[in-house]
Structure 1
Amino acid sequence: MTSTTKPTNQKRLDSFDRESGNLHGRHTIKQDGHGLGWVDILRLAFQSIGIVYGDLGTSPLYVFAGTFPDGIKHEDDILGAFSLIFYTITLIPLIKYVFIVLKANDNGDGGTFALYSLICRYAKAGFIPSQEAADSDVSNYELETPNKRLKRASKLKSKLEKSQFCKYVLLFATMLGTCMVIGDGILTPCISVLSAVGGIKQASNKLNEDMIVWISVAVLVALFMVQRFGTDKVGYTFAPILFIWFIFIAFTGLYNFIKHDPSIIKALNPIHIVYYFKRDKKQAWISLGGTVLSITGAEALFADVGHFTVLSIQLSTCSVVFPAIVLQYMGQSSYLRKHKMDAVNAFYKAVPGPLYWPMFVIAVLAAVIASQSLISGTFSIIQQSVSLGCFPRVKIVHTSTKYEGQVYIPEINYLLMFACIAVTLGFRDPGKLGNAYGLAVVSVMVITSSLLLVIMIMIWKTHILLIISYILIIGGLEIMYLSAVLSKFTEGGYLPLVFSIILLAIMYTWNDVYRRKYYYELEHKISTERLKDIALNTNLRRIPGIAVFYSELVQGIPPIFTQYVSNVPVLHSVLVFVSIKSLPISKVLVDERFSFRRVKPEELNMFCCVVRYGYTDIRNEEEPFERLLAERLKAYVQEEFLINKSKQNHLQSNEADSDDISVQIQEDEIENEAIERDLEEVTCDTEMTEVFKKAWYAGLVHFVGENEVIAGKGASLWKRVLINYAYNFLKNNVRQSINKVIDIPQQRMLKVGMTYELL
């Protein structure tokens, strides 16, 4: 639903440093990104079982093996371990993620960058100075916040906006959290598949370790090969298998609980955690590295929310996932109370004999699916990183026409596959992988909590007692786990850090040079006077047609235009300077995407257009960009003419009869309705519109800058390496051209070469 903006109230903005308002008005109904009924919610809830919970649901395969690698010393140790597992699952996946973190989604999208975008939208914490007053007119840009506790929020906001150090810390933490999630996406398939396939040793001694490893590699290759079919199809394929898995583990857990030791229920009293640490001290603390594996995949609940909805994930977690895994851990604990020596292979040992082979088959399938949650999450956060200028441009395929958040990235898929194969062949042991896995899991959770606290204070304006409670309970638990997993750094814990350093180097390189390029264009932009001199130069011939010049500069005319006119003495009759801009929001409605303004004086026939995208918007698959641009420009010219005509009529009517105000208002309303009704058919007979008509029929030509980036004279050795080698290597090996991002027709595109010397 679109509100009507009255022409008589429209204010024109001519400054190069500001965008004009959208003449078509703005959406007054806030979009949630889904608008789905209960049938769709239930369908997505079922589908999410096959995508989101594989990792969390298969953690019972290896948790007790990691908690008690040397066996159980005291029979009451299992009470403390199960109590710790139960409250960890309750506090972190259930309370923290499902009921708190999911509410911090960015218009339906989750992940570390979603939290970062919320913070940047509320405070000017980003590094690119492209924020404009008109950005707040975008419907999804709005932040609904309470009015209380403003003083604390204002102080934090002011600190973020004024401190470069705080901005760097915020960006670094976001990048590191993103890298850890991607590292998680590499480790999850390895440990899940190895643990599941390794269970066959209980039934057959003919398979040695090498055979199990190579079977695991084959399974991993098959998993990554099916990713191209998309989350929608993969989810419907995997969901029934995971649903059966949760039924199996719930049933076997309940069976073992009743058969072996129902008194394990007393572990729900957290006092047994205290007894456990008093009894074992250092060993109990080290065992936290195993119990933390019970919450692997919790970050996927948030990272994958863009593929589904908040309500669908809450529904599936509370009704299926949480009860099933709690029953399974309770059953294993009951079994281990009677069989202390079976801790290393507790899952398969506790399975009733007749169910062993069905459970083994479904466990292998579930382990394969466990990888899906982090793979899908990785695709989502890479898409966000690309749009926010923190990752090289890669091909992003939207695999569902119905659910916008479902994407597939071919390059990332194959890189993940090769990394998983290398890790599986290199480590070969789920125990060592568990050490690495724990560090990746807890690091991401700590970073998510840190960003969430900023949101709670600055945006939500949460009561201080609730903030303190979150820090003490959930934050304290995560810090305790982090200290435990760091103790296993040399035993495989270094692996996610290695992955993160490599990914962080890529992100930092791309983002740093991306910012330097923007500042270069900002410093070398063409002034208003210089533009007039160029346009009025009698040596330049004006020919019919529309020329579109592209850049990412929002605040003026980019230097590419000077480079063009200095080599080609011809200008088209209508010039449009288009800047592609990513807003720190997930989606921008199509009606609000194009923001035009005219360059004065009018006879130059020059326009500036800011094209705004969210970080999950589809850029080249809904409708050809060229056609959208041309249609919106035509509508802008027509509506601008009607606004000016309405103003003239209004002034003339006021001069004729200034006393009859009520009659004038009524006439204005009738006139505005006629303008809205006849907007598409109106014929404008001014000289300007005649020029535009001829240009329209002559066609569009797109000019794209082919920029070479080098370090300027006087640049340090570090900057020369960063710009000349690292950045250019990335640029030359990814799909970086703007025409591949917004689908500019090759036959009407010309590239203008220019060299940027960056400092």
Structure 2
Amino acid sequence: MSSSLSISLQQARFSHGSYAEPWDFLLSASGKKETWKHVALLSFQTLGVVYGHLSTAPLYVFGTIPQEDFKSDEIPYEFLSFIFWTITIISLLKYALIVLIADDDGEGGTFALYSLLCRHAKVGLLPNDQLTDETVHLVETSSKMKWRSKARRALEKHRFSHYLMLFLALFGSCMIINDGVLTPAISVLSASKGVKRSLSEIHLNTSICLFDIYPVFSFCVPDVPVPSACIIQIGLFMLQQYGTDKIGFLFAPIITIWLLFIGGVGLYNILHFNPNILRAISPAYMYSFVRNINEHSWRSLGSILLCIAGSEAMFANLGHFSKTSIKITIVCCIYPVLLISYAGQAAFISKNRHIVPEFNHLSSSMPDHTRHAFVVLSLFASAVGSQASITASFSIINQLLALKCFPQVKVVHTSEKIHGQVYIADLNWLLMILSLSVTIGLHKVGPIGYATGMAIVSGMLVTTCLMSLVISVYWEKSLFISACFLIFFGFIEAMYLSACIWNFHLGAWYLVMLSVLFLTIMLVWHYGSMKEYEFNLENKVSFEWLTDFGAGLGISRVPGIGFIYTDIVTGVPAFFSHFIANLPAFHQVLIFVSFKPQPLPYVPSDQRFLINRVGHKDYRIYRCIVRYGYCDRTRDTDDFEEQIIHSIGEFVSLEEKDFESITFEEGKMTIGGKPGSDGRAAYALIPVNNSMSTASSSRTSEENMTVSYHPGSEKGPSTNAPVRRKKVRFILPPESPKMQAFVRDELQQLVDARESGTAYILGQSHIVARQGSNFFKRLVIMVYVLLDRNSREPPVALNIPHAALIEVGMVYTI
């Protein structure tokens, strides 16, 4: 690869902000710096999406601590001291100031950290091909490679570390998804408890009369908060289809009012009840708590942990917004308001624990004239508080899909400006069902809080482990700095994890059930995908077999283009050789298309397609490798076919200048759209709309007429009106002496084949376990087959027209 290509790749990476300093503005997807207006707009939206969970944590932090643990007036000081330093160290220092810097071209989450490690150390276990990496690798100085190899040597040497890192990435992703299940349940149920306490102060007869007259108000009965929580959760999940952008504008005002309300009430409680509560910021109170620790008080730390619930979503939701907006919001708004709110509640508890029956609940600390306003606000805020976990789950699943660690589901990009904003309907309804089952099954804030706390701290521990490796491998810092990060933050999170383990039998066991469910899906799908890929590699045939087979049986070439989708990038896939053996005919132009995920969020459009010719020029057979990142929209673009044909046209026109490619070496790839020797891109094929096609080409109007027939329709074939078969057509540029005649002839054949029609040939795998396999392997394969049958079909994911689809069944014995 030329040095100019390497430089352009490096510049592309810098343009996405991977090497930006903490004080730099993030670069948007378009490569332009954010304006203050844009930052302010995103900061406002983060209130409703990113910080909803963190902002509503005061609803249940003190409320999940058993009342008997408040044994003295000093206990609220000690708990507040833990809250203050936990939010400061974990939410502010770790995530806002350190972890957010380690974004992967604007994307966050555990898989973003894993992809950074895969690119800078040979630890990836996902299927990839060395030739694609060699074609687009970055040129690095020998001294830099030598220095970095010392930090990577331990990781690259042991195969066990590769599996461990993949498991950590999957486990961390699983914890974020679990948080998306548990957070709506605990947030909404906590607010419903507040409704119950508020309504209990109203005359009970009024509530009963409403129930007798209007049964629809039965969820408002003080003794039944669960139905109201379920109704709110259903409404929340139904709003997800409108996208993060619209939801952010809808939810941000609610969180803004909520923060102003709890901040104002907190300040009032501090001044009215106990101004000395501010002394709790001293670490001496934490020391006093640890000195008198016992089994019951240690369990209370599992509830204190909930004060940082939603911190992981700051990093996981990074693709929906920007680092600048997330940092500004937490420093200027979230952090100070939450501390005032917790301090106000602690001040109330310190003076009312013998007076008020339920003194540790947030609703009890509300002044009398604000009690009913709190009920309304808490219901809305609790619904919004779940948004961060839900959108983080969408982002994580989108990354898992691209790296073949989750069954195929349909991803809808809800914003054209911010590529990370996605909606996954299948996952949304699954989260809703599981969240409702948690609410109905456990129906108490305490047990759900224990499970939520364990999910939060487990995900944070994974982030700490991967982040320490990023510091040494990607940031190229010393191992001492990496170890200090791991020990400092890891010790704090391990302390909270131990407290959660004490609460395992009280509700944290449900987290294990959810983790087993999602980890089984991820690991089984990864295992089945790898085995299927290995089977294709072992059973592929060489291209010489195809030419020799054709010479003996006389394979027919039919008009049109045939797209053969395969995972392998050399040779002929087994399902296509099976197809040829039974039906010796294929299209005038064949294009073998392979999708190759890359451990990065986005692949630049001018470096996405790798093109090669298969066999002699007369065969008109090409190979196209489509490189895509885990946030790219390559598979769901309507003009995907046009992009491939246009790239092949550029490859053909530039091929005559590159004499090395005349050898047609298998596996030798060229970047589609690569500039010519004169520095300008070659426009071999000119795309035009159908409305322009009549005036721009020499085709007759009859060629734009076609017979349309839809299977299953009561109407037969119709020829009454012309049907435009393609959104975009291609024509050749005006004749130029620079273009050789044989090149123009090949391009004309490509255009003619496109006009004749397109067929898509896919392999339909039927996987069975090899005879003699053990029970565990047969069980894994059975689960994989079950997931495969219930996931989205490849034609749906690739937007393939049903009438143009040809599926070839193959039995895969693994």
Above 0.5 in TM-score?
yes
Query: Relative to 1, partners in 2 of residues 1:131 and 1:670: Cα closer, same or farther, differing over 3 Å?
Result: closer
Note the 1:259-658 alignment, pairs <5 A. Answer: 259-341=272-354, 342=356, 344-534=359-549, 536-537=551-552, 539-643=554-658
Q: Measure how far apart 1:316 and its partner are.
A: 0.9
Question: After superposition, what is the alpha-carbon deviation per residue over 1:232-266, rounded to whole angstroms, capped at 9, x for unaligned?
Answer: 11110000100111111111111111222221222
Is 1:201 matched with 2:196? yes
Letter in 2 for 1:734: S
Q: Is the 8 A contact 1:560 1:705 kept in 2?
A: yes
Q: Is the 8 A contact 2:12 2:604 kept in 1?
A: no
Is 1:731 matched with 2:788? yes
Write the distance in 2 (CA, Å) between the matches of 1:449 and 1:465: 15
Write the distance in 1 (CA, Å) between the matches of 2:81 and 2:315: 25
Question: After superposition, what is the alpha-carbon deviation per residue over 1:294-348, rounded to whole angstroms, capped at 9, x for unaligned?
Answer: 1111111111111111111111111111111011111112222212345653412
Query: Relative to 1, partners in 2 of residues 1:67 and 1:154: Cα closer, same or farther, differing over 3 Å?
Result: farther
- What is the DSSP-based 3-state SS (H/G/I as helix, E as strand, rest coil) of the residue aligned with 2:656? helix
Query: Relative to 1, partners in 2 of residues 1:307 and 1:73: Cα closer, same or farther, differing over 3 Å?
Result: same
Q: Is the 8 A contact 1:256 1:332 kept in 2?
A: yes
Which of 8, 11, 25 is residue 28 of structure 1 equivalent to? Answer: 11
Q: Is the 8 A contact 2:67 2:360 kept in 1?
A: no
Question: Hey, what does 1:707 align to over in structure 2?
Answer: 765
Q: Measure how far apart 1:367 and its partner are.
A: 0.4
Note the 1:253-264 alignment, pairs <5 A. Answer: 253-264=266-277
Q: Measure how far apart 1:92 and its partner are.
A: 0.6
Query: Relative to 1, partners in 2 of residues 1:187 and 1:522: Cα closer, same or farther, differing over 3 Å?
Result: same
Letter in 2 for 1:710: V
Write the distance in 2 (CA, Å) between the matches of 1:370 and 1:330: 21
Query: Relative to 1, partners in 2 of residues 1:160 and 1:209: Cα closer, same or farther, differing over 3 Å?
Result: farther
Q: Is the 8 A contact 1:97 1:301 kept in 2?
A: yes
Query: Relative to 1, partners in 2 of residues 1:350 and 1:473: Cα closer, same or farther, differing over 3 Å?
Result: same
- Point out the more displaced range, 541-550 or 90-99: 541-550
Question: Hey, what does 1:106 align to over in structure 2?
Answer: 104
Question: Hey, what does 2:234 align to over in structure 1?
Answer: 221
Query: Relative to 1, partners in 2 of residues 1:326 and 1:719: Cα closer, same or farther, differing over 3 Å?
Result: same
Write the distance in 2 (CA, Å) between the matches of 1:145 and 1:119: 19
Query: Relative to 1, partners in 2 of residues 1:670 and 1:635: Cα closer, same or farther, differing over 3 Å?
Result: closer
- What is the DSSP-based 3-state SS (H/G/I as helix, E as strand, rest coil) of the residue aligned with 2:808? strand
Q: Measure how far apart 1:26 and its partner are.
A: 5.5
Question: Hey, what does 1:157 align to over in structure 2?
Answer: 152
- What is the DSSP-based 3-state SS (H/G/I as helix, E as strand, rest coil) of the residue aligned with 1:75? coil
Write the distance in 1 (CA, Å) between the matches of 2:134 and 2:440: 51
Is 1:235 matched with 2:248? yes
Question: Hey, what does 2:775 align to over in structure 1?
Answer: 717
Is 1:187 matched with 2:185? no
- What is the DSSP-based 3-state SS (H/G/I as helix, E as strand, rest coil) of the residue aligned with 1:715? coil
Question: After superposition, what is the alpha-carbon deviation per residue over 1:129-180, rounded to whole angstroms, capped at 9, x for unaligned?
Answer: 4143544766xx87999988965x5355333334332222112222121111
Q: Measure how far apart 1:126 and its partner are.
A: 2.4
Letter in 2 for 1:757: T
Q: Is the 8 A contact 1:619 1:741 kept in 2?
A: no
Which of 162, 165, 176 is residue 167 of structure 1 equivalent to? Answer: 162
Q: Is the 8 A contact 2:649 2:685 kept in 1?
A: no
Q: Is the 8 A contact 1:400 1:406 kept in 2?
A: yes
Query: Relative to 1, partners in 2 of residues 1:159 and 1:555: Cα closer, same or farther, differing over 3 Å?
Result: farther
Is 1:59 matched with 2:57? yes
Question: Hey, what does 2:260 align to over in structure 1?
Answer: 247
Write the distance in 2 (CA, Å) between the matches of 1:413 and 1:92: 29
Q: Measure how far apart 1:536 and its partner are.
A: 4.5
- TM-score, structure 2 as length reference: 0.83
Note the 1:660-679 alignment, pairs <5 A. Answer: 672=678, 676=682
Question: Hey, what does 2:802 align to over in structure 1?
Answer: 746
- What is the DSSP-based 3-state SS (H/G/I as helix, E as strand, rest coil) of the residue aligned with 1:127? coil
Unaligned runs of 5+ in 1: 11-20, 648-668
- Point out the more displaced range, 597-606 or 425-434: 597-606
- What is the DSSP-based 3-state SS (H/G/I as helix, E as strand, rest coil) of the residue aligned with 1:695? helix
Letter in 2 for 1:275: S
Letter in 1 for 2:786: F
- Point out the more displaced range, 35-44 or 294-303: 35-44
Query: Relative to 1, partners in 2 of residues 1:536 and 1:107: Cα closer, same or farther, differing over 3 Å?
Result: farther
Letter in 2 for 1:214: P
Letter in 1 for 2:194: G
Letter in 1 for 2:593: V
Is 1:78 matched with 2:63? no
Aligned-CA RMSD value? 2.9
Letter in 1 for 2:513: V
Write the distance in 2 (CA, Å) between the matches of 1:397 and 1:501: 27
Letter in 2 for 1:339: N
Unaligned runs of 5+ in 2: 17-27, 205-219, 663-674, 687-732
Q: Is the 8 A contact 1:82 1:330 kept in 2?
A: yes
Q: Is the 8 A contact 2:540 2:572 kept in 1?
A: yes
Question: Hey, what does 2:753 align to over in structure 1?
Answer: 695
Letter in 1 for 2:760: H
Letter in 1 for 2:119: R
Question: After superposition, what is the alpha-carbon deviation per residue over 1:707-752, rounded to whole angstroms, capped at 9, x for unaligned?
Answer: 21111233222222221x21111111111x3221221222322112
Write the distance in 2 (CA, Å) between the matches of 1:568 and 1:323: 71
Query: Relative to 1, partners in 2 of residues 1:477 and 1:146: Cα closer, same or farther, differing over 3 Å?
Result: farther
Letter in 2 for 1:726: V
Q: Measure how far apart 1:644 and its partner are.
A: 5.2
Letter in 1 for 2:804: R
Question: After superposition, what is the alpha-carbon deviation per residue over 1:45-90, rounded to whole angstroms, capped at 9, x for unaligned?
Answer: 1101100111111111111122343251121122211111100001
Q: Measure how far apart 1:431 and its partner are.
A: 1.3
Write the distance in 1 (CA, Å) between the matches of 2:326 and 2:610: 36
Write the distance in 2 (CA, Å) between the matches of 1:339 and 1:317: 31
Query: Relative to 1, partners in 2 of residues 1:176 and 1:423: Cα closer, same or farther, differing over 3 Å?
Result: same
Q: Measure how far apart 1:622 and its partner are.
A: 4.0
- What is the DSSP-based 3-state SS (H/G/I as helix, E as strand, rest coil) of the residue aligned with 1:41? helix
Write the distance in 1 (CA, Å) between the matches of 2:79 and 2:481: 28
- What is the DSSP-based 3-state SS (H/G/I as helix, E as strand, rest coil) of the residue aligned with 2:634? coil
Letter in 2 for 1:708: H
Write the distance in 2 (CA, Å) between the matches of 1:108 and 1:146: 29
Q: Measure how far apart 1:280 and its partner are.
A: 4.0
- TM-score, structure 1 as length reference: 0.89
Letter in 2 for 1:277: V
- What is the DSSP-based 3-state SS (H/G/I as helix, E as strand, rest coil) of the residue aligned with 1:595? strand
Write the distance in 2 (CA, Å) between the matches of 1:84 and 1:586: 37
Write the distance in 1 (CA, Å) between the matches of 2:107 and 2:681: 38
Question: Hey, what does 1:14 align to over in structure 2?
Answer: none
